[in-house]
Amino acid sequence: MVPTEYYVGLSAILFALGSVGVLTRRSAIMLFLSVELMLNAANLAMVAFARGWAASGSKTALDGQTAVFIVLAIAAAEVAVGLGILVAIFRNRVSTNVDELAEVRG
């Protein structure tokens, strides 16, 4: 079996790639895609930790997988609301470029 730390390293790489995407992309849709990548990186780490904690009993070990299940549901809700906001913005501005959406800037 591959040790947990390899999976954690892979998860860190994916999370970093997602954060780089959030920082460098300008289209709001691409920001959302990058956030999804970060969520999935965290999920991978939690599933790997769930296997690493197998020695301390079934309930403790399955906590990780249960948390991933809840994160999946929250991601679904986030995408529904986020894409709704995106469509609403696009209706008014005909653009999803976040550089042009700076009215809230104080």
Give the distance from CA 10 to its chain's centroid. 15
Partners of 99 in beta bridges: none
Q: Which is nearer to another protein, 57 or 106 (CB)?
A: 57
Site for another protein in 61-80 (CB under 8 A): 61-63, 65-66, 68-70, 72-80
Total residues in contact with another protein, by rule CB under 8 A: 78
Give the shortest CB-106-to-another protein separation in angstroms.
Answer: 18
- Interaction of residue 42 with another protein, rule CB under 8 A: no
**Cβ 75 vs Cβ 41: under 8 Å:** no
Q: Which is nearer to another protein, 70 or 104 (CB)?
A: 70
- Interaction of residue 102 with another protein, rule CB under 8 A: no
Answer positive or negative: Cα dihedral of 97, 99, 103, 104. positive
Angstrom CA distances, 19 to 5, 25, 40, 96, 100, stand at 21, 10, 12, 19, 21
- Interaction of residue 26 with another protein, rule CB under 8 A: yes
Give the shortest CB-35-to-another protein separation in angstroms.
Answer: 11
Residue from 57, 103, 104, 105 binding another protein (CB under 8 A): 57
**Cβ 61 vs Cβ 4: under 8 Å:** no
